[in-house]
Each structure stands twice: as structure tokens, then as C-alpha cells.
């Protein structure tokens, strides 16, 4: 991304690219988040009661496709919603159940035809997309999709938990760029807490949040490090542009590219020097009254 492109007026907070490489990245990180969540569907929910499923911000639809395999019922119905259609699978192939992908922004009310239609709704990893001021509206829009007694499962990151261990000073500049980017766009560094509060305010019952960690000896450590550093490298061009803009810095293209390269190298050398990244994922559950 050039500086000229990236600093132009841009209201979308989302800094990740979209397309083939991004779909591969989402697919590669899927097992890690399934592991953090303790499975695709929370163990408290009876799978035999789930026949109509929606995945919001579905991206490539990887969670939806895997859930269809898990539920293993060809009469089930699966809907993927995303603000852009460009990552939807071109040819989902033979799937267990009926699949429909719909372009929709979760901050806007879902069309009435979908209201009360779903037993289970999933949301995963929108921390870099959903602004703090939009969270309660999104939760309320999603609530409308559920039948009474239906369940919402939302797994997301506490951005404040992300940190290298042992400490790695060269990461500080990267951290600062993301902090400025998220602040400039009104993104929350503690999204799961906001989701939990919003679910309570919107009237969900049995709301509970469960945070999952890994320690340095865990098999998850390497996966979490790869997941965080590759995602950050993908987001850095836009995040750096936002950060410079919010500082009021005016830099030429060559300087922008030089700073970008340095930040990318900081992340690479963090990994090469044997550091890992702490990462937590929090799963918030609730049921519609
Ligand atoms: C990091 S990806 C996660 C994809 C998927 N949930 C997963 O876990 O593999 C975030 C997705 O959120 C989508 N998104 C961003 N803002 C959205 C919005 N307002 N409504 C619906 N989808 C949105 C993006 O287009 C992207 O596909």
C-alpha cells in the first residue's frame, strides 16, 4: 500500500487486506482459535438442538464450513454474513447442509427475513473492525437474528494482552503504531468486555465470558506467535499511515516505506530471536430470553 493510497480519507478501520492470501491466513489460524475456544461450539450447548446457524463477519467462511462437518446434518441451514463478499468461498464444494453467503454490515439492522431464524450465531475476531461506539448496536442487530432460547457465541481478542515474552524493546514501536491506529478509529483494546456488557444491556441471559491463555511451554505458543506477527505484518501499512496521520506527520513515500520496512523487520527479528507473543482469546456466551 502506498502512503498516498493509505492516508486518503478512509472511514473503514479495518486494516487487514482481503483476498487469497488473507483467506489462507484465516484458514491457518482457525485451529488456534478453535483450540482457545475449547471447540467450535461451546460445550454447554446441545448440538442436537442446532439446525440453523449464522456466522457474522464470516470472512472465508472457515468456521461455518467446519461447524457443518461437526454437526453432520445435511438438513441444517448455514448463513455467512460479511460486510464484503470478496472473501466468500467461490465454490464451497459439497457441504453438509444448505449454505448461503450474504453481504451485510452488522452495524446495520439485518433484513427482517432473517429475524428469529437462528438457533446459534457465531462472531469471531472483529477486534480490528468494530468500533467501540458500534458494539452495542451490532449486538442488538445480532440478537434479532436469534429465536428465543437461541445462543450467541462471540470470540475475540483483548488487544492489551498481546505482548512479547521475554520483553523485546524493538516491539515497542510496533505496539505504539497499533495503539495510535486503534485510538484514531475508536477501536476497543478490550472488546470482549464491551461485548459482555452490551449483551447484558441488550437483554441476553446467562451471559458469561471465558478467557483462554497459553503459557510459554504450551504447543499453542508458536502458533499464537505466528498468528499475531503475520496479522500485524498484514495490517502494518494501513496502521502506520493512520499513526502518522494522527501525529500530524507528513512524510514522503520513500520515508514511509523505510519506516514500514523497519517495523516489519522488528516483528521478523522478534520471531527469529526466539521470542513468543502472549495472546489471549475470550469467548462470550449468552442466550436470547
Ligand atoms: C479477521 S476477519 C475474521 C473472519 C472470520 N470470522 C474468522 O474468524 O475466520 C474479520 C472479518 O470481519 C469482516 N467485517 C468487518 N467489519 C464488518 C461489519 N461491520 N459487518 C460484517 N462483517 C465485518 C471483515 O470483512 C472480515 O471478513
pLDDT at 10: 73
pLDDT at 122: 98
* Residue 214 banded pLDDT, cuts 50, 70, 90: confident
pLDDT at 92: 62
CA of 126 to the centre of ligand 1 (A): 6
Three-state secondary structure of the chain:
CCHHHHCCCCCCCCCCCCCHHHHHHHHHHHHHHHHHHCCCCCCCCCHHHCCEEEEECCCCCHHHHHHHHHHCCCCCEEEEEECCCCCCCCCCCCCCCEEEEEECCCCCCCCHHHCCCEEEEEEECCCCCCEHHHHHHHHHHHHCCEEEEEEEEEEEEEHHHCEEECCCCCHHHHHHHHHHHHHHHCECCEHHHHHHHHHHHHCCEEEEEEEECCCCCCCHHHHHHHHHHHHHHHHHHHHHHHHHHHHCCCCCHHHHHHHHHHHHHHHHHHHHCCCEEECCEEEEEEECC
* Residue 53 banded pLDDT, cuts 50, 70, 90: very high
Q: How is residue 12 written as a grid cell?
A: 473503514
Mean pLDDT, rounded, of the chain: 93
Please give the domain boundaries of the chain with CATH numbers for all domains: 3-287 (3.40.50.150)
CA of 207 to the centre of ligand 1 (A): 23
Q: What is the mean pLDDT of residues 233-260?
A: 94
Q: How many residues does the chain have?
A: 289
**For residues 99 and 64, is the Cβ–Cβ distance under 8 A?**
yes
CA distances from 224 to 12, 161, 247, 248 (A): 26, 12, 31, 34
Task: Read off the pLDDT of residues 79-136 as tens digits, 9 standing for 90 and up.
Answer: 999 999 999 987 665 678 999 999 999 999 999 999 999 999 999 999 999 999 999 9
Instruction: Please count the CA atoms within 13 angstroms of the CA of 164 that sit on its side-chain side.
Output: 23
The mean-pLDDT minimum among 9-18, 50-59, 118-127 falls in 9-18
Q: How is residue 100 written as a grid cell?
A: 448461503
Find out whether the beta carbon of 26 lies less than 6 Å from any atom of ligand 1: yes
**For residues 38 and 5, is the Cβ–Cβ distance under 8 A?**
no
Question: Which atom of ligand 1 has the smallest separation from the CA of 87?
Answer: 27
Please state the φ and ψ torsions of residue 76, each to the nearest 5 degrees. Answer: -70, 160
* Residue 20 banded pLDDT, cuts 50, 70, 90: confident
* Residue 218 banded pLDDT, cuts 50, 70, 90: confident
Q: Which of 200, 221, 218 is nearest to 275 (CA)?
A: 221
**For residues 67 and 78, is the Cβ–Cβ distance under 8 A?**
yes
Q: What is the mean pLDDT of residues 156-182?
A: 96
Distance CA 114, CA 220 (A): 37
Find out whether the beta carbon of 107 lies less than 6 Å from any atom of ligand 1: yes
Q: Which of 145, 171, 11 is nearest to 79 (CA)?
A: 145
Return all residues near 231 (Cβ < 8 A) that are at least 6 apart. 16, 25, 29
| Nearest Cα residue to atom 15 of ligand 1 | 129
Residue whose CB lies within 8 A of the most ligand 1 atoms, among 59, 107, 234, for a mutation test: 59
Q: What is the mean pLDDT of residues 176-188?
A: 97
**For residues 96 and 73, is the Cβ–Cβ distance under 8 A?**
yes
Amino acid at each position: 500500500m502506498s502512503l498516498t493510497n493509505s492516508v486518503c480519507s478512509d472511514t473503514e478501520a479495518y486494516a487487514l487486506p482481503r483476498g487469497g492470501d488473507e483467506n489462507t491466513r484465516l484458514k491457518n489460524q482457525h485451529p488456534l482459535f478453535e483450540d482457545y475456544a475449547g471447540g467450535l461450539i461451546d460445550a454447554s450447548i446441545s448440538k442436537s438442538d442446532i439446525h440453523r446457524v449464522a456466522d457474522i463477519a464470516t470472512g472465508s467462511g472457515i468456521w461455518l464450513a467446519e461447524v457443518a462437518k461437526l454437526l453432520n446434518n445435511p438438513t441444517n441451514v448455514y448463513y455467512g454474513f460479511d460486510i464484503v463478499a470478496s472473501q466468500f468461498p467461490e465454490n464451497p464444494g459439497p457441504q453438509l447442509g444448505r449454505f448461503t453467503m450474504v453481504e451485510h454490515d452488522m452495524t446495520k439492522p439485518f433484513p427482517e427475513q432473517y429475524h428469529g431464524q437462528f438457533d446459534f450465531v457465531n462472531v469471531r475476531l472483529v477486534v480490528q473492525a468494530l468500533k467501540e461506539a458500534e458494539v452495542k448496536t451490532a449486538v442488538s442487530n445480532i440478537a434479532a437474528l436469534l429465536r428465543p432460547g437461541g445462543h450467541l457465541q462471540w470470540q475475540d481478542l483483548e488487544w492489551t494482552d498481546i505482548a512479547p515474552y521475554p520483553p523485546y524493546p524493538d516491539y515497542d514501536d510496533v505496539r505504539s503504531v497499533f495503539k495510535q491506529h486503534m485510538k484514531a478509529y475508536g477501536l476497543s483494546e478490550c472488546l470482549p468486555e464491551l461485548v459482555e456488557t452490551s449483551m447484558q444491556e441488550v437483554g441476553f441471559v446467562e451471559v458469561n465470558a471465558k478467557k483462554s491463555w497459553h503459557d510459554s511451554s504450551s504447543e499453542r505458543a508458536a502458533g499464537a506467535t505466528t498468528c499475531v506477527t503475520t496479522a500485524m505484518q498484514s495490517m502494518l501499512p494501513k496502521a502506520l499511515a493512520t499513526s502518522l496521520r494522527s501525529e500530524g506527520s507528513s512524510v514522503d513515500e520513500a520515508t514511509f516505506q523505510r519506516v514500514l520496512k523497519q517495523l516489519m523487520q522488528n516483528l521478523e527479528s522478534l520471531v527469529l530471536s526466539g521470542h513468543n507473543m502472549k495472546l489471549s482469546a475470550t469467548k462470550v456466551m449468552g442466550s436470547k430470553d
